[in-house]
């Protein structure tokens, strides 16, 4: 598999991850991941900064050295990195925008959920891009970065991400070929103070189904 590099300098590399490819290896050291491909490409240690789910496509950042790794980790910890996702969800959302502020924790087997007493505070903002008869296309930004945060939050408001096999009733699956969630934009200051914006257009296996929805019925 070849790497689709969106941005690179002496300290940072941003990759456009395809759906179905893991960001990093959790247990299987022989699994081909974006991280392993980068280390093979550069023949050096590449530092993991964050991750996106295997089922999600889009932008993921890595650091080329320990100093940049620490710098980017601090940006994430201080919420100085803005990440936007494009999501197609079930149902028609009436509000033009909104904020979901609900605590999340793991409930076992990798499934996350809302827990008002034991969960960690999690904040997700959304804006409507376009409404369809049975779906809504959203621009989603995360203030915190919990695992499955967008998927859990949208599910909790009754508008789960399309084709989310983990959080959606199987009866309404299989209309689309993939989880309809894409990491589309990331904005952060480089170490020299320059504001960096990296964008990733919707991949074909996402955009062509949105195009179908745009066609008159």
Only one residue has tokens 């983990």, namely 166
Measure the CA–CA gap between 41 and 86, rounded to whole angstroms.
29
Burial of 13 (0-12, 13-18, 19+ CB in 10 A): buried
Burial 173-200 (b: 16+ CB within 10 A, else e): eeebebbbbbbbbbebeeeeeeeeebeb
Answer yes or no: 164 catalytic. no
Measure the CA–CA gap between 47 and 50, rounded to whole angstroms.
9
**Marked catalytic residue, from 4, 9, 28, 53:** 53
Measure the CA–CA gap between 114 and 124, rounded to whole angstroms.
13
Q: Is the dihedral of CA 34, 36, 40, 46 positive or negative?
A: positive
Q: Which residues are catalytic?
A: 53
């Amino acid at each position: 598999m070849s790497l689709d590099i969106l941005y690179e300098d002496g300290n940072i590399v941003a990759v456009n991850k395809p759906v179905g490819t893991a960001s990093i290896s959790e247990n299987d050291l022989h699994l081909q991941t974006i991280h392993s491909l980068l280390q093979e490409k550069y023949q050096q240690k590449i530092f993991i900064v964050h991750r996106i789910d295997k089922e999600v496509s889009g932008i993921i950042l890595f650091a080329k050295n320990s100093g940049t790794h620490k710098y980017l980790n601090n940006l994430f910890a201080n919420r100085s990195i803005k990440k936007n996702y494009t999501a197609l969800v079930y149902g028609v959302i009436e509000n033009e925008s909104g904020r979901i502020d609900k605590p999340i924790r793991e409930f076992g087997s990798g499934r996350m959920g809302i827990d008002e007493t034991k969960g960690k505070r999690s904040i997700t903002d959304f804006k409507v891009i376009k409404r369809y008869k049975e779906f809504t296309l959203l621009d989603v930004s995360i203030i915190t970065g919990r695992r499955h945060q967008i998927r859990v939050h949208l599910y909790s408001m009754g508008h789960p991400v399309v084709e989310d096999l983990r959080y959606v009733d199987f009866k309404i699956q299989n209309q689309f070929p993939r989880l309809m969630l894409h990491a589309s934009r990331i904005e952060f200051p480089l170490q020299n103070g320059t504001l960096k914006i990296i964008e990733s257009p919707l991949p074909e296996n996402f955009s062509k189904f949105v195009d179908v929805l745009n066609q008159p019925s």
